[in-house]
Amino acid sequence: MRMYSLDNAMDLDELDAWLKRTRQAVEQPLAYTCELKIDGTSIALTYEEGLLMRAATRGDGITGEDVTANIRTIRDVPLRLRPQALQSDITDRERIEVRGEVYMPKSSFERLNALIEAESAEKAEGSQPRLFANPRNAAAGSLRQKDPLITAGRDLATFMYALANPSATGAQGQWQLLDWLRQAGFHVNPNIAYCTNEQEVRTFCEQAINTRNDLPYDIDGVVVKVDSFSLQRQLGYTAKAPRWAIAYKFPPEEKTSILRDIVVQVGRTGVLTPVAEFDPVLVAGSTVSRATLHNLDEVRRKDVRVGDTVVVRKAGDVIPEIVGHIETLRPVDAREWQMPVECPSCGSPVFKDVDGVAYRCASAECPAQRLERLGHWVSRGAMDIDGLGPRIIDNLVEAGLVRDVADFYNLTVEQLSTLETGQLKYARQMSPQKREKIGDFEQVPELVGELVASKLFDQIQASKEQPFSRVLFGLGIRNVGKTVADLIVNHFPSADELCQASEEQLTSVEGVGPVIARTIIEFLQTPDNLKLIEELRQAGLQLRQDVSERKPQTLVGKTFVLTGTLEKYSRDQAEALLKQYGARASGSVSAKTSYVVAGESAGSKLAKARDLGIPILDEFQFDKIIASGELPD
Ligand code: AMP
């Protein structure tokens, strides 16, 4: 059964709104079980005939990673369930899937980082130790080790709180289930409360904020669950989370720091993004020193100036963000920041977008843009050449071996193997998230070497087989993401046909508006881009998608109505995806409607579908249909 995420309440007002919503939905006062939201990594443990058979991470909620060998090394995970727990309605043979959180205590996390630092100092002078950013990352990283002995040496612990099929235990609600889990031999967090009214829930949340720092492990909120399983069933699930639970998130921790500089990072399409650099501060468990300021308007709105004392926090407890500045601490000489008039990477003039807030370097030769474009080409959704990380690409460009994406296909094993691995020249211009990612890379040897080079070579060659839709996405045309690329290729299955397409023909594709159509035409009218496409053709890339790859017409005769907001698709895109399989999309529900796809905040159409007894699908089921073209059973 799927492992869901949780919806968040970012403050007490949002919590109140959820309490009210659930109460009204079931038309009765409710009892809740409140638990701490453990900031670790989720785990699902499968027991068969009482024995631990398998442990999996959450992954995408359907498929996780098998970490059984590693989980077995965690002392508080029972390898065998206590027999008294099995005496209830569970038959011996039944499979039980227990869910919870693996975490690393704060003190163990600090010890681990100190150890990594000491070991790295011993090994190589001056090399950067690869420290874990916070206990959550340390727990997840330790759990996913290839060698269980390493996991065994890390001090991991668990709190379990759920069952895939909880009613099998005989428990009527969450509170009783926690009791069953304890009896079965699991660690259950002791800081829990059974609340019979909403005020008690609020009090529990407020108390949790106050005790948060005294706990030996990290928590990032409180999970409030409607206690009764039958009412949980009645409330059901949205596309991504149960309606019967909510994660009340603590207000983000805020710290102050001194803004030292605002630098500019140049993106793939030439957009200049201001990035704040400030003195390192520890916020919400990790040290940060950079945060994106998004664009000039944002810099003005927040009115931050170099030298200011700025307030820093993490949005969603992950991405660093500048909240604003403290006016009384502003130095007298602090000047307003200006967008550079020349690109910091190549010196070309910078233009303001006519229809937006972005400033752009329009030069196709800009090295920073080139690196981003090359990186996009090899990325997962495009050619998926995972060996070509930013360091290698940087060095290929530096060595003059690669200028555009077609050059990857002329590289020889020898050229790759003698490549030096050095510092990133353009790292300063990269986004904070990307820099963080690179910081996590393995320490690379001086030269790439024969073995890695031939693997890289093979990966590059294999990427020639990627379908045309990925090539199109990989070209990095502005506004052409993966979904749009798929939609376009379905109508224009080859580069030649696409090059001939007029603006009207392009906008007639569902999901493609005039803005996208114009950027595509602009791209395809630029001689350098046409030359590049020609070079890719010569190199043997797929510039046409076989007609047989067009979707099978499995949904002919079916009418779908979409209502509410889907998380991943706009209404147009979702309809277009269904139409690929021959389905019809309609705007209103009637007896002829085959299915209603209901997203977030679905309204009257959903109610009507219920009245008429029309099958209702959530986004998850919709995803499955458009991936396979098959209807649910
Ligand atoms: P999120 O990943 O922010 O959507 O939050 C959902 C995750 O919170 C779940 O996948 C669990 O791993 C985690 N979690 C931590 N503590 C609890 C708890 N007491 N009850 C439910 N989920 C929890």
pLDDT in tens, 159-180: 999 999 887 888 999 999 999 9
Question: What is the per-residue pLDDT for 126?
Answer: 46
Locate tokens 């209502």: which residue? 563
Task: Enumerate residues 6+ apart whose C-beta is below 8 A from 249.
Answer: 8, 9, 10, 37, 220, 221, 317
Q: Looking at the predicted structure, is the pLDDT value of residue 273 above 90?
A: yes
Whether 184 and 214 map to the same domain: the answer is: yes
What's the burial of 466, exposed, middle or buried (CB within 10 Å: 0-12/13-18/19+)?
Answer: middle
Q: Which residue, judged by its Cα, is nearest atom 17 of ligand 1?
A: 37
Q: Pick from 464, 481, 500: which residue ends a domain?
A: 464
Measuring from each residue's beta carbon to the nearest atom of ligand 1, which residues come in under 6 Å? 5-6, 35, 37-38, 42, 58, 101, 161, 223, 247
Helix (H) or strand (E) holding 101: strand 95-103
Distance (Å, rounded) from C-alpha 138 to C-alpha 131?
A: 9
Q: Is residue 494 part of a domain?
A: yes
Q: What is the mean pLDDT of the chain?
A: 88
Residue 375: give its domain's CATH number.
1.10.150.20
Q: Per-residue pLDDT tens for 546-604?
A: 755 567 778 888 999 999 888 878 887 888 888 878 888 888 999 899 999 998 878 88
Q: Is residue 545 part of a domain?
A: no
Whether 45 and 142 map to the same domain: the answer is: yes
Q: Per-residue pLDDT tens for 232-270?
A: 999 999 878 999 999 999 888 899 999 999 999 998 889
Residue 289: give its domain's CATH number.
2.40.50.140
Whether 481 and 416 map to the same domain: the answer is: no
Whether 176 and 80 map to the same domain: the answer is: yes
Whether 296 and 200 map to the same domain: the answer is: no
Whether 204 and 297 map to the same domain: the answer is: no
| CB contact burial 135-158 (16+ within 10 A = b; e otherwise) | bbbbbbbbbebeeeeebbebbbbb
Mutation probe of ligand 1 site: the residue of 218, 223, 224 with most atoms within 8 A of C-beta: 223
Q: Pick from 359, 388, 404: which residue ends a domain?
A: 359
As a whole number, mean pLDDT of residues 166-195 equals 94
Domain count, the chain: 5
Ligand 1 midpoint to CA 159 (Å):
11
Question: What is the per-residue pLDDT for 581?
Answer: 85
Q: Which residue, judged by its Cα, is nearest atom 23 of ligand 1?
A: 37
Question: What is the per-residue pLDDT for 420?
Answer: 74
Distance (Å, rounded) from C-alpha 421 to C-alpha 402?
A: 15
Ligand 1 midpoint to CA 571 (Å):
30
Nearest to 568 by CA among 596, 600, 616, 594: 600
Q: Is residue 496 part of a domain?
A: yes
Whether 294 and 426 map to the same domain: the answer is: no
Ligand 1 midpoint to CA 60 (Å):
14
Q: Specify the ligand 1 atom closest to the Cα of 58.
A: 10
Residues taking part in catalysis: 37
Question: What is the per-residue pLDDT for 199?
Answer: 97
Distance (Å, rounded) from C-alpha 203 to C-alpha 183?
A: 28
Q: Pick from 464, 498, 521: which residue ends a domain?
A: 464
Q: Looking at the predicted structure, is the pLDDT value of residue 314 above 70?
A: yes
Whether 566 and 524 map to the same domain: the answer is: no
Q: Looking at the predicted structure, is the pLDDT value of residue 223 above 90?
A: yes
Question: What is the per-residue pLDDT for 428?
Answer: 43
Question: What is the per-residue pLDDT for 432?
Answer: 53
Q: Specify the ligand 1 atom closest to the Cα of 225.
A: 20
As a whole number, mean pLDDT of residues 514-520 equals 93
Ligand 1 midpoint to CA 522 (Å):
46
Q: Looking at the predicted structure, is the pLDDT value of residue 626 above 80?
A: yes
Whether 377 and 446 map to the same domain: the answer is: yes
Ligand 1 midpoint to CA 54 (Å):
20
Whether 139 and 192 map to the same domain: the answer is: yes
Residue 615: give its domain's CATH number.
3.40.50.10190
Q: Which residue, judged by its Cα, is nearest atom 3 of ligand 1?
A: 6
Q: Is residue 55 part of a domain?
A: yes
What is the domain range of residue 386? 367-464
Question: What is the per-residue pLDDT for 429?
Answer: 47
Distance (Å, rounded) from C-alpha 271 to C-alpha 292?
A: 13
Q: Is residue 486 part of a domain?
A: yes
Q: Which residue, judged by its Cα, is nearest atom 12 of ligand 1?
A: 42
Q: Looking at the predicted structure, is the pLDDT value of residue 426 above 50?
A: no
Question: What is the per-residue pLDDT for 179?
Answer: 95
Q: Per-residue pLDDT tens for 98-139?
A: 999 999 999 999 999 889 888 877 665 445 567 887 899 999
CA dihedral 568, 385, 488, 272 (to 10 degrees): 70
Q: Per-residue pLDDT tens for 445-471?
A: 467 788 889 999 999 999 999 999 999
- CA 201 to the chain's CA centroid: 30
Q: Is residue 125 part of a domain?
A: yes
Laid out side by side, the sheet with 286-292 consists of 286-292, 272-283, 255-266, 309-315, 319-325
pLDDT bucket at 444, cuts 50 / 70 / 90: very low
Q: Looking at the predicted structure, is the pLDDT value of residue 90 above 60?
A: no
Question: What is the per-residue pLDDT for 441?
Answer: 40
Mutation probe of ligand 1 site: the residue of 6, 237, 318 with most atoms within 8 A of C-beta: 6
Q: Are 266 and 425 in contact (CB under 8 A)?
A: no
pLDDT bucket at 187, cuts 50 / 70 / 90: very high
Q: Is residue 76 part of a domain?
A: yes
Residue 118: give its domain's CATH number.
3.30.470.30
Whether 46 and 103 map to the same domain: the answer is: yes
Q: Is residue 610 part of a domain?
A: yes
Whether 202 and 301 map to the same domain: the answer is: no
